[in-house]
Amino acid sequence: MFRVRFHGRGGQGVKTASRVLGTALFHAGFEVQDAPRYGAERRGAPIFAYVRADRQPIFERGVIVRPDLVVVVDDTLLTLPAAAVLQGIAPHTLLLVHSAQPAEALRAKLKAPGQLVTIAPREVAATGLQPQGAMMTVGAAARLLGVVPRQALESAAGEELAALPAKLRQRSLALTLDGFDGVEAPGGPVRELPAEPAEDYDRPRWIALPFEDARIASPTIYGAGTSMLSKTGLWRVQRPVIDRERCRRCVWVCGTYCPDNAIAADAGGYPVIDYDHCKGCMICLVNCPSHAIAAVVESQAREAAAAGDAP
């Protein structure tokens, strides 16, 4: 059985990409199971999807813990522990990353035990979400599996993208095929892991839950302000940047509109954005009367910050 796990951000087309691969494998004669994993996440939050394909009916269900192929649509997730991109990867696991960074450097940085292939992004969309990246990456994923004919991929993408306007559909389709044509598997196609034998398995470390009284065992958060620990800033693909020249210090405007309460006034009355919690929704930008807020693609803002430039 092939087990493929997709990682990306909400809004990047990960679900569509996983469905394109699922349908392509189905057209190639496989039994298929695919599913996105939703939670309470929002746009920009790390999400994942998975595809299983086999020559016989698939009985396994749920999250893939031992993937054969991991497809990463957004390379900023690689270093995000919450995205759990590297979970369960083994020496046989092939990592496919949509990234401008060289494969060898990435592999060394991640200490990936297996092969790593990159597919370079064409352009970075102003929205920072690069939905076209998902299409190119899924094309590459189909190629790396070594069992999906180009024709099957093409018809699958045609089906799954049928609801898109014609122009966008054509472009997405072309990118999918570019992805297919643009990679080569380094050590041959993706390898399937043999089934775990029932004589020799990791025994679960079950425990008997101890009784605890309701002060502990009720789902209550006693601590105040714990939502501060949830860094919603990691969801951000666009960063709001305030231009002090234009700002008229009416913080009650942007500060009130911000749904995450991430804007506060400094001593001089200027707005300061808490980038740990600003999720990049751009509601402040839309509502700023002086057009003092600009949207900067997050990855570029980070690079600039790393290079020492102020964002």
Binding site for ligand SF4 (CB under 6 A): 240, 242, 247-251, 253-254, 257-258, 260, 262-263, 271, 273, 278-284, 288, 290, 292-293
Could you tell which of another protein, ligand SF4, none binds residue 267, using a CB distance below 5 to 8 A set by kind?
A: none
Contacts of 138 (CB under 8 A, 6+ apart): 6, 17, 18, 20, 21, 71, 157, 176, 179
CB 277 within 8 A of CB 232: yes
Q: Cα separation of 221 and 240, whole Å?
A: 31
For 80-128, the DSSP string reads: -GGG-TTTT--TTPEEEEE-SS-HHHHHHHHT-SS-EEEE--S---TTS
Q: Cα separation of 170 and 176, whole Å?
A: 10
CA-nearest of 94, 54, 92 to 71 is 94
Q: Which of residues 119-158 bind another protein (CB under 8 A)?
A: none
The correct pick among 91, 194, 197, 308 for binding another protein (CB under 8 A) is 197
Residue 40 or 306: the one with the smaller Cβ distance to another protein is 40
Interface with another protein includes 220 (CB under 8 A)? yes
Q: How far is the CB of 3 from another protein (least distance, A)?
A: 13
Residue 106 or 247: the one with the smaller Cβ distance to ligand SF4 is 247
Name the residue with tokens 């949509």.
98
Could you tell which of another protein, ligand SF4, none binds residue 273, using a CB distance below 5 to 8 A set by kind?
A: ligand SF4
Q: Give Cα 93 to chain centroid, integer Å.
A: 18
Could you tell which of ligand SF4, another protein, none binds residue 271, using a CB distance below 5 to 8 A set by kind?
A: ligand SF4
The correct pick among 123, 184, 211, 222 for binding another protein (CB under 8 A) is 222
Could you tell which of another protein, ligand SF4, none binds residue 268, using a CB distance below 5 to 8 A set by kind?
A: none
Residue 220 or 307: the one with the smaller Cβ distance to another protein is 220
Q: Give Cα 179 to chain centroid, integer Å.
A: 18
Residues 58-87 as x/- pattern, contact with another protein by CB under 8 A: xxxxxx-x----------------------
Could you tell which of another protein, ligand SF4, none binds residue 23, using a CB distance below 5 to 8 A set by kind?
A: another protein
CB 121 within 8 A of CB 72: no
Q: Cα separation of 265 and 273, whole Å?
A: 9
Q: Give Cα 12 to chain centroid, integer Å.
A: 7
Could you tell which of ligand SF4, another protein, none binds residue 21, using a CB distance below 5 to 8 A set by kind?
A: none
State the residues that interact with another protein by CB under 8 A. Answer: 19, 22-23, 26, 31-40, 58-63, 65, 195-199, 201-209, 215-216, 218-223, 226, 229
